[in-house]
Chains A and B, each alone.
Chain A
């Protein structure tokens, strides 16, 4: 509680016009070098190789594929997410280090797309994790993917002015809602290895929506993740 107050005081004190210069500089640098983890959840993944390789060349925008979530900045969800995949996507998302950004490619991540009747796919990615940019289309062409990435870069650059590039903070601030939606799909005993509430406390990002009846449910079933015993 004290910490929260401290942060708020700090923010209130910033009246010097030059105080944000350094922050803006960091945002600028961040937008120029992004590592992208593409989770090939669906069809959209087929347009990523052309976008990444010689013809459309994503690297000229400063974006490069990364193989592990721990070092990635962007999570690309490329297409419909079946319920089974969604579990793994959430797991991946929570493992990523903040600041992190999510891009939903294909119409299916927006609203179910042409699989709206399907019992197996989740319809709104937005319900389960905050999404920064949606790229609609079935499937979007590589040009559209690059356009979407450009948009994300702009958002990151102007984060402090427009508050557009910090959707990831939502996840901490409204964790209860997101968790509720996840529990609705996966059952009440759903638990991931990352302790989001502890992280929110650590970074001072907790809000009123962090706690609620869903997190209470989680606290009841939560088991600590013990390290494996190593033997030789």
Chain B
């Protein structure tokens, strides 16, 4: 078979051309491809081509023990792996009918919010780079690395922590960790002005991002958009508040929204969310030392661990949107079925196709990054 995508194809007698962007392209997030029909530099039609990152996760999980699966779930979304672990653990806990101890729940919240901070810092850089601004990328990646250092400190892993297990978390926080975290939050807050001047109010960026990829509230609801992308259209929906899990109902935080629904609104929502996460983390720092107790509800020997028959749909809010695990057990030592609902499977396929239509070629990359699409969530 000849690989089909190495030549531009002219369609009939018209002046339209069909070209491929990706899968290996600087303007594509991850390993993903877009087939565009162009008239001049206006996109007439965009079709996504996924599957480059397909590993058959759902099949793999059916062949592994409940505990073994914890090692592979974070790999589904690389920039933001913590929600994957937590979501899977929550689903298994619900089937088993147990709950993590209260201290473990607070630690999980801390891990989730740290992961959100890291993911958003990464996204700022990526989004800015598509408009030709590379400095925010350098800053974002460098500041994200500080968060990763903290991850290494309390979980042992830099990117994939595999810190959660059904029933709680794997180990206690090291001594003096909360102090380090507090210092990091101080530093990140002190950077707010710099980031604002460099990126969020910078005319070079604002002019490129304003009015690009406008998504109305109705369309967003139609296409199943969730997370920051939905909040940028004016609907204040957040799984953390409206379908609370862990201890989010005891936390005090706002849900930032924007009305415009364009690329700029989306990045502003993420910026505000970053500082809300810092606010949550401050509350965690205050609360954690007052909670004593175990960090894990005991589970039977993992090698002979049969989870009773049942099913659960566990949702969490990841940095991309609504992430859900549907886990079915038939009473065996392996899951009968695990379905992953990645938020990007909505954003990167239908929404991207819809937004790319009528956009200019140079804006397509920006639209994709502004949606914060994570291709492995689509392919799994």
Contacts and interface: CB of A to CB of B under 8 A. Distances in A.
Contacts of A193: 2, 6
B214 interface: no
B55 A88 contact: no
A179 interface: no
Sorting the interface of chain B by its residue count into under 10, 10 to 19, 20 to 34 or 35 or more gives 35 or more
Given A54-B138, A117-B60, A82 B3 contact: no
B60 A46 contact: no
Interface string B179-218: 0000000000000000000000000000000000000000
A85 B6 CA distance: 14
B159 A53 contact: no
Interface in A193-232: 193, 223, 225, 228-229, 231
A47 B63 CA distance: 29
Contacts of B137: 49, 53
A204 B75 CA distance: 44
A228 B159 contact: no
B72 A114 contact: yes
B31 A42 contact: yes
B159 A115 contact: no
A80 B141 CA distance: 23
B1 A82 contact: no
Contact of B63 (A85, A117, A141, A231): A117
Nearest to B63: A117
B10 interface: yes
B188 to A, nearest CB: 16
Interface string B139-166: 0011011001000000000111000000
Interface centre among A49, A114, A115, A187 (most CB of B within 10 A): A49
Interface string A134-151: 000011010000000000
Contacts of B145: 50, 55
Given A46-B159, A47-B159, A91 B56 contact: no
Nearest to A49: B141
A125 to B, nearest CB: 15
Contacts of B7: 225, 228
Nearest to A108: B55
A98 interface: no
Contacts of B63: 117
A59 to B, nearest CB: 12
B55 A115 contact: yes
B24 A189 contact: no
A92 interface: yes
B144 to A, nearest CB: 8
B30 interface: yes
B52 A82 contact: yes
A40 B24 contact: yes
A92 B56 contact: no
B234 interface: no
A187 B1 contact: yes
Interface centre among B2, B52, B71, B138 (most CB of A within 10 A): B52
B187 to A, nearest CB: 15
B51 A82 contact: yes
B98 interface: no
B171 interface: no
B24 A84 contact: no
Contact of B3 (A37, A69, A192, A231): A192
A41 B31 contact: yes
B8 A53 contact: no
B142 A54 contact: yes
A120 B159 contact: no
A67 B1 CA distance: 27
Interface string B50-80: 0111111001100100000001100100110
Given A82-B52, A85-B31, A88-B24, A119 B138 contact: no
B358 interface: no
A67 B25 CA distance: 7
A200 B6 CA distance: 22
Contacts of A82: 51-55
B3 to A, nearest CB: 6
11 contacts: A40-B24, A40-B30, A40-B31, A50-B141, A54-B142, A55-B142, A85-B31, A115-B55, A117-B59, A189-B2, A193-B6
Given A45-B30, A55-B141, A228-B9, 13 more contacts: A37-B24, A40-B31, A46-B78, A46-B79, A55-B145, A84-B54, A91-B6, A114-B75, A118-B56, A138-B160, A225-B7, A228-B7, A228-B10
Interface of A: 37, 39-43, 45-47, 49-50, 53-55, 67, 69, 80, 82, 84-85, 87-88, 91-92, 114-115, 117-121, 138-139, 141, 186-187, 189-193, 223, 225, 228-229, 231
Interface of B: 1-3, 6-10, 23-24, 26, 30-31, 51-56, 59-60, 63, 71-72, 75, 78-79, 122, 125, 137-138, 141-142, 144-145, 148, 158-160, 376
Name the 7 nearest CB pairs between A and B, nearest first: A85-B52, A53-B141, A49-B141, A46-B78, A53-B138, A67-B26, A54-B142
